Amino acid sequence: MGETPSKQVAVLACSGIGKTWGALARETALELVERVRPGVARLICLPLLVINDTEARQAVLEHPVITLDGCPKACARKSAEALGKKVEHPLETIQFYTAHRDLKPEGVAQLNEAGLKLAQVAASELAATVDRLAAGEQT
Ligand code: SF4
């Protein structure tokens, strides 16, 4: 008897153009889907949600969702909520720095070395969350 296949987990990062914390959201999301949990964590393009793209909307509505936002305006979380989705694991990236004060992100188009490292650390720490959500558990 085979195991129940894991669900995918949708990851939404704010666009955060011009802001360090937004750049950290983007880098963390990429680390999560490309290195930490490829094939399970699935990146959803935020602008596609904004234009009501059918596939992006379905991915958000049908899977557990992690949102990564760069400021309290919470564009990623609110874009999901606008579809009627209750986000399972909403995050604001300053939380990562609060937990790792030795890694101070700077830069906008390109994060500094500490910022890139913080994105790696944050994504690694989110692995357990992705696993729980993929297994149908709450975080
Ligand atoms: S959450 Fe903040 S940083 Fe991110 S896109 Fe929205 S306004 Fe910009």
pLDDT tens digits for range 73-114: 999 999 999 999 999 999 999 999 999 999 999 998 899 999
CB atoms within 10 A of CB 47: 10
Residue 97's nearest CA partner among 77, 75, 112, 76 is: 112
CB atoms within 10 A of CB 23: 27
Q: Is the Cβ–Cβ distance between 24 and 118 less than 8 Å?
A: yes
90 C-beta closer than 6 A to ligand 1: no
- The residues, ordered by sequence, that sit 6+ positions from 14 with a Cβ below 8 Å of its Cβ are 22, 25, 46, 67, 68, 69, 70, 71, 74, 75, 76
pTM: 0.94
22 C-beta closer than 6 A to ligand 1: yes
Tell me the per-residue pLDDT of 37-70, one tens digit each, with 9 for 90 and over.
999 999 999 999 989 999 999 999 999 999 999 9
19 C-beta closer than 6 A to ligand 1: yes
